[in-house]
Chains A and B, each alone.
Chain A
Amino acid sequence: MGKEGFSRWWQSGRTIEQVCEQKQPEGWVCGCPLTTSLSLLFVAQLSLRTVNSSRSAYACFLFAPLFFQQYQAATPGQDLLRCKILMKSFLSVFRSLAMLEKTVEKCCISLNGRSSRLVVQLHCKFGVRKTHNLSFQDCESLQAVFDPASCPHMLRAPARVLGEAVLPFPPALAEVTLGIGRGRRVILRSYHEEEAGSSYSSPTDSTAKAMVTEMCLGEEDFQQLQAQEGVAITFCLKEFRGLLSFAESANLNLSIHFDAPGRPAIFTIKDSLLDGHFVLATLSDTDSHSQDLGSPERHQPVPQLQAHSIPHPDDFANDDIDSYMIAMETTIGNEGSRVLPSISLSPGPQHPESPGLHSEEDEAEPSTVPGTPPPKKFRSLFFGSILAPVRSPQGPSPVLAEDSEGEG
């Protein structure tokens, strides 16, 4: 299994010993290096949860007792058993996947309330036994509020398909945008934040020079695709990769439930023995806080786009392709996407021979209300969508996210 975060909540002072043995110890490997603590909860099933320090990513795994060779949980009438341990400590036990697969035959995890230790025992070949006594701490309940059913958009594919799709992205890439393009293609595109302060005065900042990577997947690669063309969200790629590697190794399908940008996206995997949820904050087009997860606010000034075919010299990305796109723009917005506050989509005619134009990034139109700070530039995935705001002097485009909505 890949490395993912597991959390366990443990109430100190318990003297009940909790034992669970996992036959294939690889099942435990998943340590999200981006989070610091792991919460474990033993009830009728084992739950592992973690959240990162900025509260923009939450992971929860539930293991049915049958996942284990032996599972001895709290007896009815007892309080829930919870503990929290340092992620680093827990991960250090499963540090080397290769060694685990080669030498470990059995993994036994128990909670020793008396000594306040989580005991992880690896039974290895040749009778060798490795015992780790990890100290744990008190903690509060960790539960994110989310409901996949409330997300209007959803897609499901084998994790392998998505895993292969993210392979070409640079390992250091922080965020990726996922959206539905023309022809119901699913597009993954690298996302680069603008540098603060660069928008107005430095048209050739590093963003313009950054390499942009894009992957397209056909609708046929997905078992389910329930999303309109034009929708897109941007989220942390590193966390997504973590979940993907786990899901791939377990040969599972991955479902992504999402809503408007800014609303958390929910990634789920499931089989008969385990259930995993990752909830990631998504970038909002107006820099607002995500309601549920409180994603970090990003304040970045956005350049004003000019309503001409010639790109304004102050455009943050004085990109030839962008200028070309602006010049090519002939129609405005599109009905389907207008209801979504964040994405611009244009079905306008595109040059068929220029691959670079397909699903080209465009700048969301900024506010036209004088005096208000420009909204964060939002990159849409779709061809040529400069949208109505090209006509900004005439008033805000209905397709645009309102610039003042930030605190909504």
Chain B
Amino acid sequence: MPLLTQQIQDEDDQDSLVASLDNVRNLSTILKHATCFATKNGIKVTVENAKCVQANTLTALRMCYQGYGYPLRLFLEEGGVVTVCKINTQDPEDTLDFDFCSTNVINKIILQSEGLREAFSELDMMSEVLQITMSLDKPYFRLSTFGNAGSSHLDYPKDSDLMEAFHCNQIQVNRYKISLLKPSTKALVLSCKVSIRTDNRGFLSSQYMIRNEDGQICFVEYYCCPDEEVPESES
């Protein structure tokens, strides 16, 4: 069954939203407190963490929502067994608008996730920050941590087989709190490709392309604002 999304205003059951999905496995556990936006292209589920991180997934799910005050109804079907969930809804808080637009993007790379997965799992958790360097010369794309033992740098050259696209306009060095980026590891593990973009403010946008078993594609997108402290030069 293909992805099916509908935005239905007047249905017999008076649901303002009905959507269905074949395989819900891709809806990961990062969705704890989610705000759903139903659009023509699919449902965008937004999760926020301390107003600094935003993760979005475009997916489809059989959800029925009658409107304000009504619970969200989920219908999950597997092998003829149907599970019905009713989730009480809350008033949505305003989601942070990171105001990240493509026109402000300074640097962008697309990497095959295979190269990043282990690196991320081995990131020095003693380091508070992850520093991302994108430069026109070596090291091109560098992830750095600064822990008790010393510093570690992970360099990806622009001509690496893992690098699908490398667009760097100017050198940028930004630091992000590791604790905020760690949740994105889950998406990284599932993904086949990741795109990393930084804008003129140093805001980070990472998009993970996930191909599920049916061959369908969905995306998880993370936004993260840079750590306020000015990066010092480290050995």
Contact = CB atoms under 8 A, between A and B. Distances in A.
Given A89-B148, A99-B118, A132-B150, A127 B160 contact: yes
B156 A92 contact: no
Interface residues of A, number: 20
A92 to B, nearest CB: 6
Interface in B129-185: 139, 148-157, 159-162
Given A128-B115, A128-B155, A131-B155, A99 B150 contact: no
Q: Choose among B124, B139, B149, B155 the residue with the greatest number of A CB atoms under 10 Å from its CB.
A: B149
A44 interface: no
Q: How large is the interface on B (under 10, 10 to 19, 20 to 34, 35 or more residues)?
A: 20 to 34
A117 B149 contact: no
B150 A126 contact: no
B154 to A, nearest CB: 5
A92 B161 CA distance: 27
B155 A129 contact: yes
B160 A133 contact: no
Contact of A96 (B115, B122, B156): B122
A128 B148 CA distance: 24
Given A126-B162, A133-B235, A89 B150 contact: yes
Nearest to B140: A127
A127 B159 contact: yes
Interface string B103-142: 0000000000001001101101000000000000001000
Contacts of B139: 129
B228 to A, nearest CB: 25
A134 B121 CA distance: 20
Contacts of A126: 115, 156, 160-162
A58 to B, nearest CB: 23
A129 B124 CA distance: 16
B150 A135 contact: yes
A88 B152 CA distance: 14
A95 interface: yes
Given A126-B115, A131-B155, A117 B122 contact: no
Nearest to B117: A99
Contacts of B160: 126-128
A10 to B, nearest CB: 14
A103 interface: yes
B189 to A, nearest CB: 14
Contacts of B124: 92
B118 A135 contact: no
B149 A135 contact: yes
Nearest to B152: A132
A92 B155 contact: no
Interface in A70-125: 86, 88-89, 92, 95-96, 99, 103, 115, 117
B156 A133 contact: no
Given A115-B235, A117-B235, A127 B152 contact: no
Contacts of B159: 127
Q: Which 7 A-B pairs have CB atoms at the shortest separation, nearest pair first? A: A89-B149, A127-B160, A134-B150, A131-B153, A133-B150, A129-B155, A127-B157
16 contacts: A89-B149, A96-B118, A96-B122, A127-B156, A127-B159, A128-B115, A128-B155, A129-B157, A130-B119, A130-B153, A130-B154, A131-B153, A131-B154, A132-B149, A133-B153, A135-B150
Interface of A: 86, 88-89, 92, 95-96, 99, 103, 115, 117, 126-135
Interface of B: 115, 118-119, 121-122, 124, 139, 148-157, 159-162, 235
